[in-house]
């Protein structure tokens, strides 16, 4: 049985609105608290509360209330709003572990990125408090998303394999004795890519919180992926939530995960054994010679030179 979402339940596109002029505040008037003001700077210690009680109502987002704009056409066109996966987003709901799968260009990484940024994470990876930028390539999807929460987290992280080196470099250089963050992180550059990734995962995924993972298998061996799944399992036992985009059949097999397969038709909740990538890997591993024969067309001689 799939467990319910500890934090993020669902998301949908909101209608584009004209920006409203901000009313001037009376002198001495206290600004309304936002749920993200309660985030930890580091992972909460063992036994420390990782959630903000009552924060589900803070930040201007209503929990449990239906919005009349949730499923209607939002009037946007072009990338990324024309992706079938983005159009199908209102039909998706997130569990304790939700895995987005699909071919290149299906929109799985775009969705994970948009959800992570809308939740307050740095587009190139990190936490809400770790802000850096090497090359701005993220879409504007996050600006059009409304997130629906069971409750708001006080801790979380966005892991992106493709921007990990830039994040590690930013952390290493931010070494000011008073304001720098380097001292609260493990040494990431003096290890292999996979080892540094797992070292950071072990230090940052150890508590309950909300975690986004984007194609992290590119940094990890088979054994590395198993280590990551062990970390995820232990964190889920503490109340963590994971939303992951992956091509890895191994990561897709995480016990109890909710799997959405993204195609040109939209998003379909799928059983592990029915996922196209899983079926293709099984077919290849059962008979690689047959697959290569079909791929290379053995009946035709290869060109010279």
Give the pair of three-digit tokens for residue 287. 């008979």
Alpha helices in 119-244 (DSSP H): 164-173, 193-204, 222-237
Q: Quickly tell me which residue has 């000011």 as its tokens.
A: 176
C-alpha pair distances (Å), 38 with each of 18, 22, 52, 251: 29, 24, 7, 31
| pLDDT score recorded for residue 203 | 79
| pLDDT score recorded for residue 39 | 56
Mean pLDDT computed over 182-204: 63
Domains of the chain by range and CATH?
A: 85-296 (3.40.50)
| pLDDT score recorded for residue 132 | 45
Please give the model's pTM, rounded to 2 decimal places.
0.75
Burial class (CB in 10 A: 0-12, 13-18, 19+), 244: buried
Mean pLDDT computed over 100-119: 92
Distance CA 247, CA 104 (A): 9
Q: What pLDDT band is residue 128 in, cutting at 50, 70 and 90?
A: low
C-alpha pair distances (Å), 199 with each of 28, 113, 189, 194, 205: 46, 22, 11, 9, 10
- Range with the poorest average pLDDT among 79-88, 122-131, 265-274, 279-288: 122-131
Number of H helices, E strands in the chain: 8, 8
Percent of the chain with pLDDT over 90: 42
Neighbouring residues of 83: CB distance < 8 A, sequence distance ≥ 6: 106, 107, 110
* pLDDT tens-place string over residues 143-157: 899 999 999 988 888
| pLDDT score recorded for residue 54 | 43
Q: What is the DSSP letter of 106?
A: S
In the predicted model, is pLDDT for residue 102 greater than 70? yes
Q: What pLDDT band is residue 170 in, cutting at 50, 70 and 90?
A: very low
* pLDDT tens-place string over residues 35-70: 455 455 566 666 666 565 444 433 334 433 334 343
- Range with the poorest average pLDDT among 120-124, 164-168, 193-197, 209-213: 164-168
Is 208 within 8 Å of 50 (Cβ atoms)? yes
Closest CA to 123 of 107, 104, 109: 109
Mean pLDDT of the chain: 75
């Amino acid at each position: 049985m799939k467990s319910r979402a500890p934090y993020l339940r669902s998301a949908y596109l909101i209608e584009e609105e004209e920006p409203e002029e901000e009313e001037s505040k009376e002198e001495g008037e206290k600004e309304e608290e936002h749920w993200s003001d309660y985030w930890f700077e580091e992972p909460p210690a063992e036994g420390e509360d990782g959630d903000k009680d009552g924060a589900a109502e803070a930040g201007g987002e209503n929990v449990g209330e239906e919005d009349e704009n949730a499923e209607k056409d939002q009037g946007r066109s072009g990338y990324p709003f024309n992706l079938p996966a983005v159009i199908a987003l209102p039909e998706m709901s997130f569990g304790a572990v939700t895995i987005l799968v699909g071919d290149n260009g299906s929109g799985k990484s775009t969705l994970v990125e948009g959800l992570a940024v809308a939740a307050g994470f740095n587009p190139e990876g990190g936490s809400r408090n770790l802000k850096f930028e090497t090359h701005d390539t993220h879409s504007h999807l996050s600006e059009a998303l409304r997130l629906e929460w069971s409750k708001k987290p006080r801790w979380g992280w966005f892991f992106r394999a493709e921007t990990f080196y830039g994040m590690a470099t930013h952390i290493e250089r931010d070494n000011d004795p008073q304001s720098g963050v380097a001292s609260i992180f493990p040494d990431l550059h003096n290890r292999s890519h996979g080892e540094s990734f797992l070292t950071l995962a072990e230090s940052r995924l150890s508590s309950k919180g909300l975690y986004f993972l984007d194609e992290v298998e590119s940094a990890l061996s088979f054994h590395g992926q198993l280590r990551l799944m062990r970390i995820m399992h232990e964190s889920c036992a503490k109340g963590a939530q994971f939303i992951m985009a992956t091509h890895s059949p191994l990561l897709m097999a995480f016990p109890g995960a909710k799997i959405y397969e993204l195609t040109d038709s939209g998003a379909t909740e799928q059983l592990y054994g029915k996922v196209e990538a899983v079926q293709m890997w099984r077919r290849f591993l059962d008979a690689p010679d047959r697959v290569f024969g079909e791929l290379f067309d053995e009946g035709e001689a290869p060109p010279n030179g």
